Structure 1
Amino acid sequence: MDRLNAYRQIIRNTLKPYAEIDYANVNVKNRAAFDPETDQYIILSEGWDQQQHLHSVLLHIEIINGKVWVQYDGTEDGVTDELLQAGIPKEDIVLGFHEPEVRPHTGFAIA
């Protein structure tokens, strides 16, 4: 398996458990939206809290120019360590939620 296909599989395997989270205090379900053609991997949260409709992104990861970009991470502990443990090296992970000026100081790829 080539490197990018391995990254795609790691991302899918890492994000799938987040789609299965059950929330005790609100009627929200997480849904996986994975598009391997555009290399977009998203976990959406959608549901209701009484009469308020809730709809948000929990996680958004994409592959751009061979790098894994963590564009948004709304999890409690962060998904980046899981990606590292699964085999994606730091030099191939970009913390896209950080400003470009901050990225060189994160220890991860800058772009």
Structure 2
Amino acid sequence: MEIEKYKELIKSIIEKHSQCDSDDCEVETQIAFDVDRDRYLMFHVGWRGERRVFGCVIHIEIREGKIWIQRDGTEVGIANELIEAGVPKSDIVLGYRSPYMRKFTELAVG
């Protein structure tokens, strides 16, 4: 797949997850796309009572033609969605796994 197709696919996956998120009206789901640097994020911002909520749910980067999943807080798994959409396993890196553990997956090591 071309890098431009990867960018559009990643954006569509994140947008889908941002729409399906919690009904909690005090916590907002935000997305941030830095297409110049190939970084794509979804995070939560808000309050639950007196407790501050802020956290990254999805963080994906494109590096040297590969999709690096830096954070995946989804139930289905971003890698699974990418594979289902036609991305070769050799183009997906689980960046949240240590380099040592990546070699035990069917995906790219880096």
Which segments of structure 1 move beyond 3 Å, counting only runs of 4 or more?
none
> Which blocks of at least 5 consecutive residues in structure 2 are unaligned?
none
Corresponding letter in the other structure for 1:84: I
Where 1:101 maps in the other structure, the secondary structure is: helix
- Which TM-score applies when normalising by structure 1? 0.92
Aligned Cα RMSD in Å? 1.4
User: 1:95 is matched with which residue?
Assistant: 94
- How many residue pairs match? The answer is 110
- Which TM-score applies when normalising by structure 2? 0.93
C-alpha deviation, 1:53, in angstroms: 1.3
Paired with 1:55 and 1:78, the residues of 2 have a C-alpha distance of: 21
Where 2:11 maps in the other structure, the secondary structure is: helix
User: 1:13 is matched with which residue?
Assistant: 12
* Contact 1:22-1:29 at 8 Å conserved across structures: no
User: 1:108 is matched with which residue?
Assistant: 107
> Which blocks of at least 5 consecutive residues in structure 1 are unaligned?
none
1:1-111 → structure 2 map (5 Å cutoff): 3-24=2-23, 27-111=26-110
Where 2:96 maps in the other structure, the secondary structure is: coil
Where 1:106 maps in the other structure, the secondary structure is: coil
Paired with 1:83 and 1:4, the residues of 2 have a C-alpha distance of: 13
Where 1:19 maps in the other structure, the secondary structure is: helix
Q: Aligned in 2, Cα 1:75/1:26: closer, same or farther, shift over 3 Å?
A: farther
Paired with 2:95 and 2:84, the residues of 1 have a C-alpha distance of: 19
Corresponding letter in the other structure for 1:108: L
Paired with 2:85 and 2:26, the residues of 1 have a C-alpha distance of: 31
Deviation track 1:25-64 (CA, whole Å, cap 9, x = no partner) reads 5721211101110000000111110011100000000001
